[in-house]
Amino acid sequence: MSLFSYQNLKKILFKLDPETAHTVAGLGLRAIAHCPVLLRYVKNKNFVTHPILQQDIFGRTFQNPVGLGAGFDKNGQYITAMPTMGFGFTEIGTVTPKPQDGNAKPRLFRLLEDNSIQNAMGFNNKGSHYMLQRLKELYFFDYPMGINIGKNKLTPEDEALNDYETLFKAFKNYGDYIVINISSPNTPGLRDLQNEAFIKAIFKMAKEITTQPVLLKIAPDMEPEDAIALCKTAVEAGAAGIIATNTTIDYSLTPHAKDFGGISGALLTEKSYQLFKAIGKELYGKTLLISVGGIDSAEEAYRRIKAGASLVQVYSMLVYRGPALIKEINEGLIKLLQKDGYKHISEAIGADYK
Protein backbone atom coordinates (compact mmCIF):
# COMPACT_ATOMS: atom_id res chain seq x y z
CA MET A 1 0.00 0.00 0.00
CA SER A 2 1.42 3.38 -1.03
CA LEU A 3 2.41 5.89 1.61
CA PHE A 4 0.03 8.30 -0.11
CA SER A 5 -2.87 5.86 -0.40
CA TYR A 6 -6.33 6.94 0.67
CA GLN A 7 -6.35 4.39 3.49
CA ASN A 8 -3.37 6.17 5.04
CA LEU A 9 -4.93 9.58 4.42
CA LYS A 10 -8.19 8.35 5.95
CA LYS A 11 -6.42 7.65 9.25
CA ILE A 12 -5.60 11.36 9.44
CA LEU A 13 -8.97 12.62 8.18
CA PHE A 14 -10.91 10.40 10.57
CA LYS A 15 -9.12 12.03 13.51
CA LEU A 16 -10.76 15.28 12.50
CA ASP A 17 -14.35 16.36 12.98
CA PRO A 18 -16.26 15.09 9.89
CA GLU A 19 -17.10 18.56 8.62
CA THR A 20 -13.51 19.72 9.09
CA ALA A 21 -12.28 16.62 7.26
CA HIS A 22 -14.65 17.44 4.40
CA THR A 23 -13.17 20.94 4.19
CA VAL A 24 -9.61 19.60 4.21
CA ALA A 25 -10.42 17.11 1.45
CA GLY A 26 -11.99 19.92 -0.53
CA LEU A 27 -8.86 22.03 -0.24
CA GLY A 28 -6.89 19.12 -1.63
CA LEU A 29 -9.22 18.83 -4.61
CA ARG A 30 -8.98 22.56 -5.32
CA ALA A 31 -5.19 22.35 -5.17
CA ILE A 32 -5.19 19.52 -7.71
CA ALA A 33 -7.47 21.51 -10.00
CA HIS A 34 -4.99 24.40 -10.02
CA CYS A 35 -2.02 22.20 -10.94
CA PRO A 36 -2.49 21.01 -14.56
CA VAL A 37 0.34 18.46 -14.45
CA LEU A 38 -0.99 16.87 -11.25
CA LEU A 39 -4.56 17.06 -12.52
CA ARG A 40 -3.66 15.12 -15.69
CA TYR A 41 -1.66 12.55 -13.73
CA VAL A 42 -4.40 11.82 -11.21
CA LYS A 43 -7.12 11.76 -13.88
CA ASN A 44 -5.13 9.29 -15.99
CA LYS A 45 -4.76 7.10 -12.91
CA ASN A 46 -8.42 7.12 -11.83
CA PHE A 47 -10.63 7.90 -14.83
CA VAL A 48 -12.07 4.92 -16.67
CA THR A 49 -13.51 5.28 -20.15
CA HIS A 50 -14.51 2.46 -22.48
CA PRO A 51 -16.92 2.26 -25.45
CA ILE A 52 -19.06 -0.25 -23.52
CA LEU A 53 -19.74 2.39 -20.81
CA GLN A 54 -20.19 5.53 -22.92
CA GLN A 55 -23.71 6.94 -23.19
CA ASP A 56 -25.27 9.98 -24.85
CA ILE A 57 -27.71 11.47 -22.35
CA PHE A 58 -29.28 14.94 -22.41
CA GLY A 59 -27.23 15.71 -25.51
CA ARG A 60 -23.94 15.05 -23.70
CA THR A 61 -21.50 12.15 -23.72
CA PHE A 62 -21.09 10.47 -20.35
CA GLN A 63 -17.78 8.59 -20.52
CA ASN A 64 -18.80 6.36 -17.63
CA PRO A 65 -22.06 6.00 -15.65
CA VAL A 66 -20.73 6.70 -12.14
CA GLY A 67 -21.32 10.24 -10.87
CA LEU A 68 -20.87 12.22 -7.69
CA GLY A 69 -24.09 12.66 -5.74
CA ALA A 70 -25.29 16.08 -4.63
CA GLY A 71 -24.18 17.39 -1.25
CA PHE A 72 -20.41 17.10 -1.55
CA ASP A 73 -19.84 20.09 -3.82
CA LYS A 74 -22.45 22.48 -2.46
CA ASN A 75 -20.88 25.60 -3.99
CA GLY A 76 -19.43 24.30 -7.26
CA GLN A 77 -15.87 24.60 -5.97
CA TYR A 78 -14.59 21.17 -7.02
CA ILE A 79 -16.09 20.71 -10.49
CA THR A 80 -12.80 20.72 -12.38
CA ALA A 81 -11.33 18.17 -9.96
CA MET A 82 -14.13 15.62 -10.28
CA PRO A 83 -12.72 13.83 -13.37
CA THR A 84 -9.54 13.19 -11.37
CA MET A 85 -11.65 11.20 -8.91
CA GLY A 86 -12.87 9.01 -11.76
CA PHE A 87 -16.45 10.31 -11.92
CA GLY A 88 -18.16 10.38 -15.30
CA PHE A 89 -20.31 13.32 -14.21
CA THR A 90 -20.97 15.47 -11.16
CA GLU A 91 -23.95 17.07 -9.46
CA ILE A 92 -23.42 20.32 -7.57
CA GLY A 93 -25.53 21.82 -4.79
CA THR A 94 -27.97 21.77 -3.20
CA VAL A 95 -28.05 25.49 -3.96
CA THR A 96 -30.71 27.86 -2.58
CA PRO A 97 -31.65 31.35 -3.80
CA LYS A 98 -30.09 33.12 -0.81
CA PRO A 99 -26.95 32.09 1.09
CA GLN A 100 -27.63 30.22 4.31
CA ASP A 101 -25.52 28.75 7.09
CA GLY A 102 -27.47 25.54 7.48
CA ASN A 103 -28.28 23.88 10.79
CA ALA A 104 -26.37 24.18 14.04
CA LYS A 105 -23.16 22.18 14.47
CA PRO A 106 -22.36 19.38 15.02
CA ARG A 107 -24.41 18.26 12.05
CA LEU A 108 -22.30 15.62 10.33
CA PHE A 109 -21.49 12.26 11.90
CA ARG A 110 -19.65 9.09 10.93
CA LEU A 111 -21.44 5.87 11.81
CA LEU A 112 -18.20 3.91 11.71
CA GLU A 113 -19.67 0.57 12.75
CA ASP A 114 -22.11 0.80 9.85
CA ASN A 115 -19.92 2.31 7.10
CA SER A 116 -22.48 5.10 6.97
CA ILE A 117 -22.88 8.84 7.39
CA GLN A 118 -25.59 10.83 9.14
CA ASN A 119 -26.01 14.46 8.23
CA ALA A 120 -28.25 17.31 9.28
CA MET A 121 -26.49 19.96 7.20
CA GLY A 122 -29.59 21.88 6.13
CA PHE A 123 -28.61 23.14 2.66
CA ASN A 124 -25.64 25.18 3.87
CA ASN A 125 -24.39 27.02 0.77
CA LYS A 126 -23.31 30.42 -0.53
CA GLY A 127 -26.45 30.97 -2.58
CA SER A 128 -27.35 31.19 -6.25
CA HIS A 129 -25.38 34.36 -7.04
CA TYR A 130 -22.12 32.80 -5.86
CA MET A 131 -22.84 29.58 -7.76
CA LEU A 132 -23.55 31.55 -10.94
CA GLN A 133 -20.18 33.26 -10.72
CA ARG A 134 -18.50 29.87 -10.31
CA LEU A 135 -20.28 28.48 -13.35
CA LYS A 136 -19.43 31.52 -15.48
CA GLU A 137 -15.75 30.90 -14.74
CA LEU A 138 -16.15 27.35 -16.06
CA TYR A 139 -17.83 28.29 -19.30
CA PHE A 140 -15.47 26.22 -21.48
CA PHE A 141 -15.19 23.24 -19.12
CA ASP A 142 -16.54 20.23 -21.01
CA TYR A 143 -17.89 17.79 -18.41
CA PRO A 144 -21.45 16.56 -17.69
CA MET A 145 -22.88 18.36 -14.69
CA GLY A 146 -26.22 18.62 -12.92
CA ILE A 147 -27.40 21.38 -10.60
CA ASN A 148 -29.38 20.38 -7.52
CA ILE A 149 -31.74 23.11 -6.27
CA GLY A 150 -33.76 23.62 -3.08
CA LYS A 151 -35.74 26.24 -1.20
CA ASN A 152 -34.34 28.40 1.61
CA LYS A 153 -35.09 27.24 5.15
CA LEU A 154 -36.99 30.43 6.05
CA THR A 155 -39.16 30.36 2.93
CA PRO A 156 -42.70 29.31 3.95
CA GLU A 157 -44.11 26.21 2.28
CA ASP A 158 -46.77 28.24 0.46
CA GLU A 159 -44.03 30.41 -1.08
CA ALA A 160 -41.68 27.55 -2.03
CA LEU A 161 -42.52 27.81 -5.73
CA ASN A 162 -41.08 31.33 -5.74
CA ASP A 163 -37.70 30.00 -4.62
CA TYR A 164 -37.64 27.35 -7.31
CA GLU A 165 -38.71 29.92 -9.92
CA THR A 166 -35.75 32.08 -8.93
CA LEU A 167 -33.41 29.12 -9.29
CA PHE A 168 -34.79 27.96 -12.65
CA LYS A 169 -34.29 31.46 -14.02
CA ALA A 170 -30.79 31.74 -12.55
CA PHE A 171 -29.48 28.46 -13.96
CA LYS A 172 -31.46 28.07 -17.18
CA ASN A 173 -28.29 28.52 -19.25
CA TYR A 174 -25.98 26.41 -17.09
CA GLY A 175 -25.47 22.75 -16.40
CA ASP A 176 -26.77 19.75 -18.31
CA TYR A 177 -29.74 19.05 -16.07
CA ILE A 178 -31.45 20.46 -12.98
CA VAL A 179 -32.64 18.41 -10.01
CA ILE A 180 -35.58 19.47 -7.85
CA ASN A 181 -34.69 18.56 -4.28
CA ILE A 182 -37.79 18.30 -2.12
CA SER A 183 -36.62 15.14 -0.37
CA SER A 184 -33.93 16.26 2.07
CA PRO A 185 -35.00 15.63 5.69
CA ASN A 186 -32.96 18.59 6.98
CA THR A 187 -35.12 21.53 5.90
CA PRO A 188 -38.37 21.73 7.91
CA GLY A 189 -41.43 21.03 5.79
CA LEU A 190 -39.45 20.26 2.63
CA ARG A 191 -40.63 16.66 2.30
CA ASP A 192 -44.21 17.90 2.63
CA LEU A 193 -43.76 19.25 -0.90
CA GLN A 194 -43.65 15.66 -2.17
CA ASN A 195 -47.30 15.84 -3.19
CA GLU A 196 -49.15 15.74 -6.49
CA ALA A 197 -50.28 19.37 -6.53
CA PHE A 198 -46.82 20.78 -5.90
CA ILE A 199 -45.18 18.41 -8.41
CA LYS A 200 -47.60 19.44 -11.15
CA ALA A 201 -47.13 23.12 -10.35
CA ILE A 202 -43.34 23.07 -10.24
CA PHE A 203 -42.87 21.16 -13.49
CA LYS A 204 -45.42 23.37 -15.24
CA MET A 205 -43.43 26.39 -14.09
CA ALA A 206 -40.11 24.82 -15.09
CA LYS A 207 -41.31 24.22 -18.66
CA GLU A 208 -42.24 27.89 -18.96
CA ILE A 209 -38.76 29.01 -17.88
CA THR A 210 -36.17 26.55 -19.16
CA THR A 211 -35.61 23.95 -21.86
CA GLN A 212 -33.15 22.06 -19.67
CA PRO A 213 -33.96 18.53 -18.54
CA VAL A 214 -35.46 18.78 -15.04
CA LEU A 215 -35.38 15.75 -12.74
CA LEU A 216 -37.05 14.93 -9.43
CA LYS A 217 -35.14 13.47 -6.48
CA ILE A 218 -37.25 11.48 -4.03
CA ALA A 219 -36.89 10.23 -0.46
CA PRO A 220 -36.45 6.53 0.40
CA ASP A 221 -38.97 6.59 3.22
CA MET A 222 -42.13 6.61 1.12
CA GLU A 223 -44.30 3.56 0.59
CA PRO A 224 -43.51 2.10 -2.86
CA GLU A 225 -47.00 2.74 -4.21
CA ASP A 226 -46.84 6.39 -3.07
CA ALA A 227 -43.38 6.86 -4.58
CA ILE A 228 -44.48 5.31 -7.88
CA ALA A 229 -47.58 7.51 -8.02
CA LEU A 230 -45.51 10.62 -7.29
CA CYS A 231 -42.91 9.74 -9.92
CA LYS A 232 -45.60 9.02 -12.51
CA THR A 233 -47.15 12.41 -11.79
CA ALA A 234 -43.76 14.05 -12.24
CA VAL A 235 -43.07 12.31 -15.55
CA GLU A 236 -46.55 13.17 -16.86
CA ALA A 237 -45.91 16.77 -15.80
CA GLY A 238 -42.66 16.93 -17.75
CA ALA A 239 -39.91 15.45 -15.59
CA ALA A 240 -36.96 14.26 -17.68
CA GLY A 241 -35.96 11.74 -15.04
CA ILE A 242 -36.12 10.46 -11.48
CA ILE A 243 -33.28 10.22 -8.96
CA ALA A 244 -33.85 7.70 -6.17
CA THR A 245 -33.02 8.10 -3.39
CA ASN A 246 -32.08 10.78 -0.90
CA THR A 247 -31.05 9.98 2.70
CA THR A 248 -33.30 8.06 5.09
CA ILE A 249 -34.78 9.01 8.46
CA ASP A 250 -35.35 5.36 9.36
CA TYR A 251 -33.32 5.38 12.57
CA SER A 252 -34.30 1.81 13.32
CA LEU A 253 -31.59 0.73 10.87
CA THR A 254 -28.91 1.07 13.55
CA PRO A 255 -28.58 1.61 17.31
CA HIS A 256 -25.80 4.11 16.54
CA ALA A 257 -28.05 6.69 14.83
CA LYS A 258 -28.83 10.16 16.12
CA ASP A 259 -32.51 11.06 16.28
CA PHE A 260 -32.18 13.76 13.62
CA GLY A 261 -30.74 14.14 10.14
CA GLY A 262 -30.55 11.72 7.23
CA ILE A 263 -28.57 8.48 6.99
CA SER A 264 -26.60 7.50 3.91
CA GLY A 265 -24.01 4.87 3.08
CA ALA A 266 -24.18 1.11 3.65
CA LEU A 267 -27.24 1.31 5.91
CA LEU A 268 -29.21 2.80 3.03
CA THR A 269 -28.18 0.24 0.39
CA GLU A 270 -31.06 -2.21 0.56
CA LYS A 271 -33.75 0.34 1.36
CA SER A 272 -32.69 2.49 -1.57
CA TYR A 273 -32.42 -0.47 -3.93
CA GLN A 274 -35.85 -1.87 -3.09
CA LEU A 275 -37.59 1.46 -3.68
CA PHE A 276 -35.59 2.09 -6.83
CA LYS A 277 -36.51 -1.32 -8.21
CA ALA A 278 -40.20 -0.70 -7.53
CA ILE A 279 -39.98 2.58 -9.43
CA GLY A 280 -37.90 1.01 -12.18
CA LYS A 281 -40.45 -1.73 -12.73
CA GLU A 282 -43.08 0.93 -13.47
CA LEU A 283 -41.05 3.64 -15.19
CA TYR A 284 -38.14 1.92 -16.96
CA GLY A 285 -38.27 2.92 -20.63
CA LYS A 286 -40.55 5.87 -19.87
CA THR A 287 -37.99 8.23 -18.32
CA LEU A 288 -34.34 8.40 -17.32
CA LEU A 289 -33.60 6.77 -13.96
CA ILE A 290 -30.62 7.51 -11.72
CA SER A 291 -29.94 5.39 -8.65
CA VAL A 292 -28.09 6.58 -5.55
CA GLY A 293 -27.84 5.25 -2.01
CA GLY A 294 -25.23 2.95 -0.52
CA ILE A 295 -23.57 1.93 -3.79
CA ASP A 296 -20.21 0.48 -2.76
CA SER A 297 -19.18 -1.94 -5.51
CA ALA A 298 -19.45 -2.78 -9.18
CA GLU A 299 -21.91 -5.53 -8.27
CA GLU A 300 -24.22 -3.10 -6.50
CA ALA A 301 -23.99 -0.57 -9.32
CA TYR A 302 -24.75 -3.36 -11.80
CA ARG A 303 -27.77 -4.41 -9.72
CA ARG A 304 -29.13 -0.86 -10.01
CA ILE A 305 -28.40 -0.76 -13.76
CA LYS A 306 -30.30 -4.01 -14.35
CA ALA A 307 -33.14 -2.52 -12.28
CA GLY A 308 -33.36 0.38 -14.73
CA ALA A 309 -30.63 2.89 -13.86
CA SER A 310 -28.86 4.57 -16.76
CA LEU A 311 -26.59 6.34 -14.27
CA VAL A 312 -25.60 5.80 -10.64
CA GLN A 313 -24.24 8.18 -8.03
CA VAL A 314 -21.84 7.72 -5.13
CA TYR A 315 -21.10 9.95 -2.16
CA SER A 316 -20.96 8.54 1.35
CA MET A 317 -19.12 5.34 0.43
CA LEU A 318 -16.42 7.55 -1.07
CA VAL A 319 -15.64 8.69 2.48
CA TYR A 320 -14.84 5.13 3.54
CA ARG A 321 -13.27 3.80 0.34
CA GLY A 322 -11.69 6.81 -1.38
CA PRO A 323 -11.46 7.56 -5.12
CA ALA A 324 -10.19 4.04 -5.87
CA LEU A 325 -13.83 2.97 -5.40
CA ILE A 326 -14.95 4.81 -8.53
CA LYS A 327 -12.28 3.16 -10.66
CA GLU A 328 -13.15 -0.23 -9.14
CA ILE A 329 -16.83 0.22 -9.95
CA ASN A 330 -16.21 1.24 -13.56
CA GLU A 331 -13.64 -1.47 -14.24
CA GLY A 332 -15.90 -3.99 -12.53
CA LEU A 333 -18.88 -2.92 -14.63
CA ILE A 334 -16.91 -3.54 -17.82
CA LYS A 335 -16.13 -7.09 -16.67
CA LEU A 336 -19.70 -7.78 -15.54
CA LEU A 337 -21.17 -6.52 -18.81
CA GLN A 338 -18.74 -8.58 -20.87
CA LYS A 339 -19.33 -11.66 -18.72
CA ASP A 340 -23.06 -11.44 -19.43
CA GLY A 341 -22.42 -11.02 -23.14
CA TYR A 342 -23.47 -7.39 -23.43
CA LYS A 343 -21.80 -5.26 -26.08
CA HIS A 344 -22.97 -1.99 -24.47
CA ILE A 345 -24.32 -0.83 -21.11
CA SER A 346 -27.63 0.10 -22.75
CA GLU A 347 -28.35 -3.60 -23.25
CA ALA A 348 -28.09 -4.21 -19.49
CA ILE A 349 -30.14 -1.21 -18.38
CA GLY A 350 -33.50 -2.55 -17.25
CA ALA A 351 -32.47 -6.16 -17.91
CA ASP A 352 -34.63 -7.25 -14.98
CA TYR A 353 -37.72 -6.26 -17.00
CA LYS A 354 -36.73 -7.46 -20.46
**DSSP assignment of 192-250:** GG-SHHHHHHHHHHHHHH--S-EEEEE-TTS-HHHHHHHHHHHHHHT-SEEEE---B--
Q: Which residues are catalytic?
A: 184
Return the closest-CA partner of residue 70 out of 123, 140, 20, 6. 123
Please tell me the distance from the alpha carbon of residue 152 to that of residue 321, in angstroms, as a whole number: 32
What is the Cα gyration radius of the chain?
A: 19
Cα–Cα distance list, 71 to 121, 168, 259, 265 (Å): 9, 19, 20, 13
Beta bridge partners of 215: 179, 241
Q: Please provide residue 177's backbone torsions phi and psi, each rounded to the nearest 5 degrees.
A: -160, 160
Residue 136 three-state SS:
helix
Please, which residues bridge with residue 145 across strands?
90
Residue positions in the annotated binding site for substrate? 74, 119-123, 181, 186, 246-247
Q: Do residues 199 and 228 touch, judged by C-beta distance below 8 A?
A: no
Q: Which residues are documented as binding site?
A: 70-74, 94, 119-123, 148, 181, 186, 217, 245-247, 265, 294, 315-316
The distance of Cα 67 from the centroid of its chain, to the nearest Å, equals 7
Q: Binding site for FMN, residues?
A: 70-74, 94, 148, 181, 217, 245, 265, 294, 315-316
